[in-house]
Structure 1
């Protein structure tokens, strides 16, 4: 009986020793690491959403103050040149015109009286009833009456123009993209009450991230049809302080029949990096424990740090410059746990 227990105990000890040996071997095995193949960024494409707009968008406004009596159009309506858009209440303008006509009539009468005084003055001077100084005074009164007449005629012309300004018409064919003026509203001279997009050349308006310079050309992708070339026409002088984006407008270089004003379209651009040999790696691959940015590469089954030049950071990736070539593998996770020369095993891709 004692012999049997000795055999069982001996067998158990052997099993326990074997398990501990296996665990020790497992503990000493190199850890598995996830790797990433770095890619070059020159020639990469960037897809942005843009809005189709007219090359010329003209704010519509009255040239005089007044109250809107008639609104003849609505937003989204196509208009022809000369089409009535808005009309102001003309009652005050008509009274102003009548007053200016009365001024002209009074000025004409004053000229007639002054001319008659000059004629009588010449007769009286011949008879030596008045002096030359008195005749000169009659001539000055006549000249003053003529100047008043000129001023009255100018004011009359202004009143006539103001009456025509009370009717606001389209200066060219186009589409009303926005109409804000309402009947009964009092508006000031120059206050925009509509926007007219002139027919003709179309453009695509886009907003680029602050770190990306708008390319000189690109492609717009209509919902149906082939891509249409784009050419950069203008870029905003400064980035938007709120969105940190650059506004750019691209001319449609081919027929834009498949594009409509206000459409949201996709535009594709070839992104050119500031450094043509820049590489892209995941953010998790960066390690800044050494004071300078670095990444980790696997050499002879051991992790080794490699110093890099950090160009820019994105939401998920970073652009770097280093001696590695495209296609090399770097450790993509857990770099804060690595030590130089540490044995590692790359996970199968």
Structure 2
């Protein structure tokens, strides 16, 4: 008679089978990591051999005058818009004249009172003179009457000056263009309360035109240059240079006079200008594609390949055009290869390989 299998023995046999099955399986391999280097496109630095510097500028008027009220108040009307041509004396804005009219009325009343006091003092002086001639009045009392007339005259003159000031203030409530020109900016609005001298418009006066150019911090604006208008060239002469470089853009602002007529361009137009470089200024400057610049850190940088790894290289940007940039910095030399595409994805020490080793991009 066969032996019956007990439940305990059956459970032991099942556990043993599971252990044998697990032992026969191959151990799971760790997750694979992508150790392949990243393919990158490279470009070589080209030495800047140009003897000129091409920059963009803005066409400006020689005289740009802020327009502001000489009295404070609330703007009642606005008669102009930005870009509008105006003539000298044309009304730009008006203030609410209520308070100014009341001030003029008060000044006139003060003047009337002062004139009345003067009339009384003069009449008293005339009567005292007659009394003095008849020895009915002392000399001291007569001189006191003369001083009263002088005081009344002074008060009358002061009141008259206040009337003139109040009348002028009422005239100042109407802001007029002080010259022929174009309003390049208008900021005042009806209902706005403005103070004395607060600018509400900017007037570019008719007359000479200039070009405003911002030069890189390491390039001092030269004395002369030329404006490029297709095949036409207009000489430029430097008029002024800012006393210090702009701390935000690290550029020098310069103004150049146009030594020729310019009728086909309007104020604010972007124009191209060319300037001669000083001796040796072009040395140490190299051209690279704009895409090679990486400005994620504290300053602009390029990336070079060192022992198969991407490493940053700090540079100074001299100027930037639509497709190329002119840079300078330590360790740069003509023909040096730098990564020219996808620099915003690189990290120091990343494994990279140039595409020219791959054959076909």
Q: TM-score, normalised by structure 1?
A: 0.69
Tell whether 2:228 aligns with 1:221.
Answer: yes
Q: Give 1:250's match in structure 2, choosing from 231, 253, 256.
A: 256
Any conservation in 2 of the 1:203–1:249 contact (CA below 8 Å)?
Answer: yes
Tell me what 2:272 maps to: 266
Q: Give me the whole-angstrom Cα distance separating, in 2, the residues matched to 1:240 and 1:91.
A: 45
The 1:230–1:275 alpha-carbon spacing in structure 2 relative to 1, beyond 3 Å, is: closer
Tell whether 2:142 aligns with 1:139.
Answer: no
Any conservation in 2 of the 1:38–1:279 contact (CA below 8 Å)?
Answer: no
Q: Give me the whole-angstrom Cα distance separating, in 2, the residues matched to 1:241 and 1:35.
A: 32
Q: Give me the whole-angstrom Cα distance separating, in 2, the residues matched to 1:175 and 1:35.
A: 48
Q: TM-score, normalised by structure 2?
A: 0.66
Q: Give me the whole-angstrom Cα distance separating, in 1, the residues matched to 2:281 and 2:155.
A: 74
Q: 1:164-183 alignment to 2 at 5 Å?
A: 164-183=171-190
The 1:153–1:143 alpha-carbon spacing in structure 2 relative to 1, beyond 3 Å, is: same
Q: 1:1-349 alignment to 2 at 5 Å?
A: 41=49, 44-222=51-229, 226-274=232-280, 278=283, 318=328, 332-333=336-337
Any conservation in 2 of the 1:174–1:199 contact (CA below 8 Å)?
Answer: yes
The 1:117–1:316 alpha-carbon spacing in structure 2 relative to 1, beyond 3 Å, is: closer
The 1:171–1:282 alpha-carbon spacing in structure 2 relative to 1, beyond 3 Å, is: closer
Q: Give me the whole-angstrom Cα distance separating, in 2, the residues matched to 1:75 and 1:275.
A: 41
Q: Give me the whole-angstrom Cα distance separating, in 2, the residues matched to 1:69 and 1:244.
A: 42
The 1:279–1:114 alpha-carbon spacing in structure 2 relative to 1, beyond 3 Å, is: closer
CA deviations 1:122-152 (Å, max 9, x no partner) are 2222333321111111111111001111101
Tell me what 1:340 maps to: none
Q: Give me the whole-angstrom Cα distance separating, in 1, the residues matched to 2:118 and 2:193.
A: 41
Unaligned runs of 5+ in 2: 1-41, 289-314, 318-324, 339-361
Q: Which moved more, 1:256-265 or 1:172-181?
A: 256-265
Q: Give me the whole-angstrom Cα distance separating, in 1, the residues matched to 2:145 and 2:238.
A: 70
Unaligned runs of 5+ in 1: 1-33, 284-311, 321-328, 335-349
RMSD between aligned residues: 2.7
Any conservation in 1 of the 2:93–2:175 contact (CA below 8 Å)?
Answer: yes
- SS of equivalent to 1:267: strand
- SS of equivalent to 1:227: strand
Any conservation in 2 of the 1:83–1:169 contact (CA below 8 Å)?
Answer: yes
What is the aligned residue count? Answer: 262
Any conservation in 2 of the 1:36–1:281 contact (CA below 8 Å)?
Answer: no
The 1:191–1:38 alpha-carbon spacing in structure 2 relative to 1, beyond 3 Å, is: closer
